[in-house]
Amino acid sequence: MWPWEHLLFGYVWFSAVNRAVWRDHISDSVGLAVVLSTQAPDLIDKPLSWTFGLITTGYGPAHSLLVGVPILLVVAGIAWTRDKIRLAVAIVVAYSSHLVGDVLALRANGPNVGRVLWPLVPRDPYETDLGFVERFTEYFGTFVVQMMHPENSLLVLGYVALFGAVAVLWVVDGTPGIRWARRITHTNQ
C-alpha cells in the first residue's frame, strides 16, 4: 500500500473506534499519532532495506507481529499508564491498520500473511540493488503509469471517491491538525 492509502485506511478505522467509544472530535495530538502510526512500519523498514541493506525487503521488524507488535504494545502501554488512553488506542489502531493493509494488499499479488511474520517467513531479496530514492521513484512511476491506463479509470474514480469520503469524515471529526495550525497562525499575528 502507498503511504496515503495506509493513512486513509488507518484514519477510517480510528475514526470509527473514536465514534464508538468517545463520540467526540479527534484532537490534534491524537490525529498526529494516527498519521505517524499508520506510516511507522514503512518509515522504519523501508530505509533499513532500501538505504542500509540490513533486511532483504521492505517488510522487516517493524512489520513483524513478532517484533514490531510487542514494541507497539510497550509504546501504547506507556501512553496508557500516563492517562493518554485515546492516544494509546490511536497508536494501536493506526499501526495495526498498516499491518492489516499490507497483509490484504490486493494489488501486491493478493493477501499474504508472510509479510508480517519476519523473520520466520523469509522474503526473497530484491532483484535490483536500488537506493531509497531510486526504488521509490521506480514504484511511484509504475503507479502513475498504471493509473493513467484507460482500463484503470474505475480505480481512479474509486480513489477520488475514497479521498472525498475520508475528507468529509475528517471534517466531521473536527479537522484534526487544522485547529493546531489555526492556533499557531492566530498567536503569531
Domain assignments of the chain as residue spans, ordered by start: 3-187
- Percent of the chain with pLDDT strictly greater than 90: 77
Q: Is residue 110 scored above 90 in pLDDT?
A: no
Residues 34/94, Cβ–Cβ less than 8 Å? yes
Spatial CB neighbours of 120, under 8 Å, sequence gap ≥ 6: 66
pLDDT given for residue 108 in this prediction: 64
pTM check: above 0.95: no
- Averaged pLDDT, 16-32: 95
51-108 pLDDT per residue, tens: 999 999 999 999 999 999 999 999 999 999 999 999 999 999 999 999 999 999 866 6
